[in-house]
Structure 1
Amino acid sequence: MEGFIETARAAYVIARRDFTAIIFSKSFFFFLLGPLFPLGIGVFAGGLGSQVSKDIDRPVIGVALTAEQSEQLLEAKKKLSASLGDEAIPDLLLLPDVAPDATNIKDQLDSAQKPLTAIISGSLEAPLLTGSERDVKRWQGRTALLAETALSGTQSIPVKTDYVASTDSSDRRTQLATAQGGQVILILLTMILAGMVLSNLVEEKTNKIIEILAAAIPMDAIFLGKLFAMLGMALVGITVWSTLGFIAVAAIGGGLPALAAPAVGWPIFCILLVLYFSMAYLLLGSLFLGIGAMATTVREVQTLSMPVTMGQLLVFFLAALTVTKLGEPIEWFAVAFPFSSPFAMIARAAQMDNIWQHGLALIWQGIFTLIIIRFSVMLFRRNVMKSGQSARKKGLWKRVRGR
């Protein structure tokens, strides 16, 4: 127990040293500014994509009225589009095979030849708008305006509504977007930030600082301290970027993408997102520490880290593949395999509401992180310490030959 406390205390000293040195350095400021350039390009491209999306995904409302009233509604649409603009009035699709008083109006929302936002049925004097609550509330006023224009505006038209209730299967389908979004956030942040662990260790190996620390502090504490210092730096960077992003969204006046609420709820999902990012970072960072223990030059670092980076992409693809395969063997493998476990578990958080499984997953990921760190320490002692002895032997041999 006393040895564990000493190791933890030494790890805290190393973590505080590295964290302070990085946070208050000039390079960290430029590191924070780095993502702003691709972010600006992404915002610009997103604006173009949003405009294209508006042109492609225009709302289409089906018309299940009599032939005469359908023609009146189409004429009303032309008049309103000319005065208010095309974007203000939804497109109309005639449904001649559907009777105005049909009982299967809801079924037509999925079986029509084009995706429909809602369906107008009944009559122009008493229109009935059927669709999801969000879409119906959005277009109820425009529907009334269309009906009033079709009847020459002689009276105010009340529009009745009929909401389509969401089912469990539809909720699960919409939660897939949340699951995939969480996985993408994890992989992007991990790949952007984890490489700094490797560069920091190689730099200190080159300057012989790591050997000085190894003479005074247990190597396990040094590696743990460096890993958690880098994790703290990464969390600071994420906090700064997130704050700037929210400020930019609020200033521009845009909205965040509408994602379905995860099964565990947004507060717990956000907490799990931070925890799983931390575990993914620690797992990949501990692996990079092992690579840094074997590498002596920047070229060796690039050569050794490339397979790890490619492997991380394969792990992400594995987790992304299993999003729709909950409970199947391949999904259980993604959950159990430590490097894909954070990505697979954040997808589970979006689709399953039980919390206990996340505690087990985090404990398992933490144990495997400690195993990798222990193995990295062994590699460091074998390579770095041995290289120092070899250097002394070579120097002695040169002196002997010189005589």
Structure 2
Amino acid sequence: MSESAAPPTERLPLWRAAWVIARRDFAAILLSRAFFFFLLGPLFPIIVGGLAGGIGSQVRETAPPPVLAVAMTASDTERIEAARDSLEGSAGLSLPELAPVEEGSSSPEEVLKGTERNYGAVLSGSLAEPRLTGSSGQLERWRGDIALLLSEAVRSEATVFPAIEESAVAAATSDLNRSRLITAQASQVLLFLLSMLLAGMVLSNLVEEKANKIIEILAASIPMDAVFLGKLFAMLAVSLVGITVWGGVAGIFLLLGGDALPAFPAPVIGWTGFIALGILYFAMNYLLLGSIFLAIGSLATTVREVQTLSMPVTMSQILIFFVASLAVTQIEGWMGIAGMIFPLSSPYVMLAYAAQEGALWPHVLALAWQALFVYLFIKIGASLFRKRVMKSGSQPRGAGRRWRFPGMGRKAERV
């Protein structure tokens, strides 16, 4: 009795197969030593930059401010000091500190070379014919202040400034628009840096598995679309882990820095909604770039080919980022709308839109539009991989034929 044939093994559904690949890649990368050192890589510039900024700030605070040396007669010097006190007390101006110097004791050039005080410039001559001596930069900074001082000093009576009734508001519309534009541009820069830093992991992982023939084994048992989809989402999850670690370190610096660090104005939709949209747009931008890099990986066989083929994509991303940054200033114009429609620039422009506008329905449309192109890019990449690596499609004529030659006891037959 002949043995019954084994039933054919059915392939896993697309999403279940993608989950298997994603879980495998996520665990393999997250538990590797290379990923640990990858996390440490961007932290060193941040720590060094923070330390350098703190040291520079401390040096600037400890350095004495420049003072204005006044080499005039005693009466002229008294009138200039009285004018300075009047302007600072009534008008609230911040004017250079004065340091009287005996008239005629030394030339202005020699006074500036002295080490007694940190002299920035020397005011000599008289009120009728003043002369200011100093470096070109210091003269440019103090020209207006000293002209105001001299104008007040030559008056016969001190100027009486009228009392102004002040009424403060939270912020004017122009100030809010300008400040939110800063938030929009900063979010675009952060999205660009994170995407370019992390998207390359997809390409390196695919090329490594192609070299080890692992990808071909996976493709023989799992649909290629599921392999690409699983790898993309595994790398996205790994990237989010890295961003969480870096964000925690940045949060520590924010707590330690306090008021010394610049504060970005709140976007229109609030920080909670803005951060949520930022995560979604980073995910979409990462998936778009990752799917393109997977398609490139299907065309490359060596690391050198990967670098050659990925260079145009990297340079085009820089160009797209610059165009998206320009579109922020015309968010409701033709350039802004075109940036929202083009899939590779859409995450940048829509994130900037979230900082300046409060409507939510455009984000739903934009995310759906970007997800459509992620699907299309994955299909194209999987198709290229099947044709170039798995050699699927029509075989050349005569392929797969085996011949038996005469002399083996039977006629030649085609198998």
TM-score by length of 2: 0.69
Q: What is the identity, as a one-letter code, of the residue corresponding to 2:21? A: I
Greater Cα offset, 256-265 or 271-280? 256-265
Superposed structure 1 runs of 4+ greater than 6 Å apart: 51-55, 75-82, 387-390
CA–CA distance in structure 2, aligned partners of residues 121 and 322 of structure 1 = 49
Residue 46 of structure 2 corresponds to which residue in structure 1? 39
- In the TM superposition, residue 257 of structure 1 has moved relative to its aligned partner by 2.0
Q: 1:346 maps to which residue? A: 351
Partner Cα separation in structure 1 for residue 211 and residue 324 of structure 2: 37
Alignment-derived partner of residue 294 in structure 1: 299
Change (3 A) 1:165 1:54: farther
Is 1:181 aligned to residue 183 of structure 2?
A: no
- Tell me the SS of whatever aligns to 1:339: coil
Q: CA deviation at 1:71?
A: 3.8
Alignment of structure 1 residues 203-352 onto 2, 5 Å? 203-251=208-256, 253=258, 255-352=260-357
2:39 is aligned with what amino acid?
A: L
Q: Give me the whole-angstrom Cα distance separating, in 2, the residues matched to 1:121 and 1:292.
A: 76
Q: For residues 368 and 229 of structure 1, what CA distance do their matches in structure 2 show?
A: 19
Q: What residue in structure 2 maps to residue 131 of structure 1?
A: none
Aligned partners of 1:179 and 1:52: how far apart in 2? 32
Distance 1:218 1:262, change over 3 A: same
**d(CA) in 2 for partners of 1:195 and 1:356?**
32
Count of residues in correspondence between the two structures = 325
Distance 1:235 1:246 in 2: 16
**Structure-1-length-normalised TM-score:** 0.70
1:299-320 deviations in whole A, cap 9, x for unaligned? 0000001110001001100100
1:11 aligns with 2:13: no
1:72 aligns with 2:85: yes
Q: How does 1:140-219 map to 2 (within 5 A)?
A: 161-163=166-168, 166-219=171-224
8 Å contact kept, 1:249–1:255: no
Do 1:331 and 1:344's aligned partners in 2 also have CA atoms closer than 8 Å?
Answer: yes
- In structure 1, how many angstroms separate the alpha carbons of the residues matched to 2:389 and 2:191? 33
Identity %: 53
Amino acid at match of 1:366: A
Give the distance between the partners of 1:305 and 1:79, measured in 2 at CA. Answer: 56
- Aligned counterpart in structure 1 of residue 373 of structure 2, from 346, 355, 368: 368
- Give the match for residue 151 of structure 1: none
Shift of 1:263: 1.2
- CA deviations on 1:268-288 (whole Å, 9 max, x unpaired) are 111111111111100000000
User: In 1, distance between residues paired with 2:211 and 2:160?
Assistant: 76
Q: Which has the higher helix share?
A: 1
Alpha-carbon offset, residue 367 of structure 1: 0.5
Between 1:313-322 and 1:46-55, the stretch displaced more is 46-55
- AA aligned opposite 1:339: L
1:179-208 per-position Cα deviation (integer Å, ceiling 9, x unaligned):
000000000000000000000000001000
> Is the Cα contact below 8 Å between 2:95 and 2:145 reproduced in 1?
no
**Structure 1 Cα separation of the partners of residues 262 and 45 of structure 2:** 19
CA contact (8 A) 2:11 2:222 kept: no
Distance 1:75 1:270, change over 3 A: closer
Tell me the distance in 2 between the aligned counterparts of 1:94 and 1:8: 74
The secondary structure found in structure 1 opposite 2:185 is helix
Counterpart code for 1:13: V
Structure 1 portions without partners, runs of 5+: 59-66, 83-90, 97-119, 129-159, 398-403
Once the two structures are TM-superposed, the CA of residue 261 in structure 1 deviates from its matched residue by: 1.2
Alignment check: 8 A CA contact 1:70 1:94 kept = no
- Could you tell me which amino acid in structure 2 is paired with residue 203 of structure 1? E
Residue 105 of structure 1 is matched in structure 2 by none
- Rate the CA distance shift 1:213–1:78 in 2: closer, same or farther, 3 A: closer
For 1:189, the aligned partner's letter is L
Work out the CA distance in 2 between the residues paired with 1:262 and 1:379: 42
Q: Structure 2 unaligned runs (5+)?
A: 1-9, 66-79, 100-141, 149-158, 403-415
CA distance 1:387–1:39, change in 2 (3 Å): farther
Task: Write out per-residue CA displacement over residues 29-58 of structure 1, whole angstroms, 9 at most, x where no aligned residue.
Answer: 111111122223332454477679989xx9
**Could you say which structure has the larger radius of gyration?**
2
> Which residue pairs with 2:35 in the alignment?
28
Q: Say whether the 8 Å CA contact 2:387–2:393 is kept in structure 1.
A: no
CA pair 302-204 structure 1, distance change in 2 beyond 3 A: same
Query: Is the 2:339–2:349 Cα contact (8 Å) retained in structure 1?
Result: yes
Q: How many Å separate the matches in 2 of 1:121 and 1:75?
A: 12
- Secondary structure of 1:296's counterpart equals coil
Q: Is the 8 A contact 1:174 1:260 kept in 2?
A: yes
Query: Secondary structure in 1 aligned to 2:13?
Result: helix
Mapped to 2, the partners of 1:364 and 1:75 lie a distance apart of 59
- Equivalent residues of 2:386, 2:392 under 8 A apart: no
Task: Provide closer, same or farther for how the CA distance between residues 286 and 81 of structure 1 changes in structure 2, counting only shifts above 3 A.
Answer: farther
